[in-house]
Structure 1
């Protein structure tokens, strides 16, 4: 096998794009971490975060590699690759519906964020972010990855600042974490599951359903397998640290986040009005980058990017999403859509494990046989 080339800038961009995609409205606003992990308390929440990180790492590392090696013409072919032709089609269409549902949920999150900080009507925030995301998606996959790859590290920095503030608070009040770990269970927050371990597994399998086609697209944009895998490791490592920090932060600032649609924004405003103002803009960037990616991924099922058909389909989906994103409260959308998707994703996890570790010849995939031969042991040039 020849020596694989590595483009450090490309690795950072792809890792940053993963962070930008992953830290969308559910994550950046704090609702996902709150409902899946923090409500279980500090110890169970942190252990759950570690389990989540291990599973996420496996998904991203594997799928970036498969995407780079297979170079699917249609990223949704990944479902046929792992599930076979018929089950794969079921998963493919469920994935399209799920991602569009999450896209709508993220739009609702943008409206909630802008309303909570700026006082503007919720629907106005939703419309603005939707139109900006549409414009970005129309630019094409490579340009989108370049844009959101820069935004990802910015998100990481600001979430880390809040995490450090929580840790500093704990130095002065060392019992606060244990006390609030008990109180958070009865604080009235929505929860994904009554079992903390199951919540972590559900969230990870949701992540698989949510991100599988994006992982494939990102991996295929890399020029070598090593480049793809390094990108995945760096991106998942950064996300995992933020998950643990956010669990601690939400428990420490329990009194601050009660009754808030956007917990992280409430915390940022509590720490510093200036931080709150800046973070409100960062949150909008978080949601904008994730929404841009989602509308790109969904539209790719119906058309190739940078075509007239793509632009028309993306516009129609955006207009429908702008309307649907104003129908239900953000936390209610998260609580309904995310856990159900997690359950659906568990079967897919099993099928992935089966093909990767038990029977690599399961569910023969014929569309790319020629490419598999051509790409074996070679770099991919795009």
Structure 2
């Protein structure tokens, strides 16, 4: 058997691209973690994050591997691979609509962030990020992965810095986490689910449906199945670490985040004004990375990279997203769209499990039975 090659640089870029794609505006602003993890309290929130990590490792291990092995012409072909022609077509279009909906949510997050920090109109932030993301998406898959592969680790680093600040605060007030942990549950924040375990499962299924096509593209970009799978494992671990740190941070700074559309920015400004300035830029960069990726993935369903049709569709989708992204409040958009997205992943997961394990095992058993029968005949 040929030995599968591993490039440390490529693994790092793909892991960083995973983090950048998953972070987006929902995570980097703090709203996503707040609604899925922090509102359950710090202990349950951290356990929920670990549950998410195990599930997401399972999903990405399969999808990165199948992307590298199959090299689909269109990343959305993975739905027909697992679900068959008709259900696969339904899931393809559902995923396109879902991804585009999340794209709009992220544009709203960009507008909310820039408005909260700089006091400018929300329209300015939404339009600016949309246009820069459009230019990046039109550069094609490989260039985009290179760009966002650098942004992802930077975002994780700043989450760690805020987490360290929260731990320092806890060192001086050791009872703060317990006290605020009880209060955050009843503080009136929007929640994805009243059950912490179900919130973790929903979040992982959201990640599955949100990321299917991108996971396949990342897997295709790797040089081997082993390289693809190692990158997704590393990316998932670092992303989960960021979830845990942000859950602790939001609990510690509960008084700071109340009434804020962008909790992380409020925390950063509280820790140090200069950190708030830098983090505002980091959040916008994170949103830009995800928006660029989603726009490219959605547009790829309609046309190949760098064709005239690809450029036209990308421009049209950007224009529509710029308009809709200013209509609803950011936290409300997340609370409506994200939980629904998680529920939609349950059925698709059933098809993946059947194809990868049940059907494969049945095929292997039938093959072994056939070999045994031929051996008896030859004897």
Structure 1-normalised TM-score? 0.93
Write the distance in 2 (CA, Å) between the matches of 1:301 and 1:60: 20
In the TM superposition, what whole-angstrom CA distance separates every residue of 1:250-289 from its partner, at most 9, and x where no partner exists?
1111000000000001110000000000000000000000
Write the distance in 2 (CA, Å) between the matches of 1:254 and 1:126: 27
The structural deviation recorded for 1:354 is 2.1
Equivalent residues in 2 for 1:133-152 (5 A)? Answer: 133-152=133-152
The structural deviation recorded for 1:304 is 0.6
Q: Could you say which residue in structure 2 is the equivalent of 1:328?
A: 328
Write the distance in 1 (CA, Å) between the matches of 2:51 and 2:355: 22
**Partner SS, residue 360 of structure 2:** coil
Q: Could you say which residue in structure 2 is the equivalent of 1:226?
A: 226
Kept in 2: contact 1:355–1:362 (CA 8 A): no
Write the distance in 2 (CA, Å) between the matches of 1:255 and 1:54: 32
Kept in 2: contact 1:100–1:298 (CA 8 A): yes
Figure out how many residues of one structure are paired with residues of the other and give that number.
Answer: 363
Equivalent residues in 2 for 1:214-253 (5 A)? Answer: 214-253=214-253
The structural deviation recorded for 1:362 is 8.8
Equivalent residues in 2 for 1:1-382 (5 A)? Answer: 1-360=1-360
The structural deviation recorded for 1:7 is 1.4
Bigger mean CA deviation after superposition, 342-351 or 332-341: 342-351
Write the distance in 2 (CA, Å) between the matches of 1:96 and 1:305: 17
Kept in 2: contact 1:4–1:225 (CA 8 A): yes
Write the distance in 2 (CA, Å) between the matches of 1:291 and 1:32: 16
Q: Report the RMSD for the aligned CA atoms in angstroms.
A: 1.2
The structural deviation recorded for 1:361 is 7.6
The structural deviation recorded for 1:359 is 1.6
- Runs of 5+ unmatched residues, structure 1: 364-382
Q: Could you say which residue in structure 2 is the equivalent of 1:380?
A: none
Write the distance in 2 (CA, Å) between the matches of 1:118 and 1:211: 31
Larger Rg: 2
Structure 2-normalised TM-score? 0.94
The structural deviation recorded for 1:174 is 1.1
In the TM superposition, what whole-angstrom CA distance separates every residue of 1:37-57 from its partner, at most 9, and x where no partner exists?
110101111111110111111
Kept in 2: contact 1:355–1:361 (CA 8 A): no
Kept in 2: contact 1:66–1:216 (CA 8 A): yes
Write the distance in 1 (CA, Å) between the matches of 2:5 and 2:263: 43
Q: Could you say which residue in structure 2 is the equivalent of 1:370?
A: none
Write the distance in 1 (CA, Å) between the matches of 2:210 and 2:162: 26
Q: Could you say which residue in structure 1 is the equivalent of 2:376?
A: none
CA distance change for structure 1 residues 312 and 276 in 2, over 3 Å: closer, same or farther?
A: same
Q: Could you say which residue in structure 2 is the equivalent of 1:376?
A: none
Kept in 2: contact 1:64–1:229 (CA 8 A): yes
The structural deviation recorded for 1:229 is 1.0
The structural deviation recorded for 1:360 is 2.2
Write the distance in 1 (CA, Å) between the matches of 2:265 and 2:303: 37
Write the distance in 1 (CA, Å) between the matches of 2:6 and 2:299: 30
Write the distance in 2 (CA, Å) between the matches of 1:269 and 1:310: 40
- Runs of 5+ unmatched residues, structure 2: 364-379
Q: Could you say which residue in structure 2 is the equivalent of 1:375?
A: none
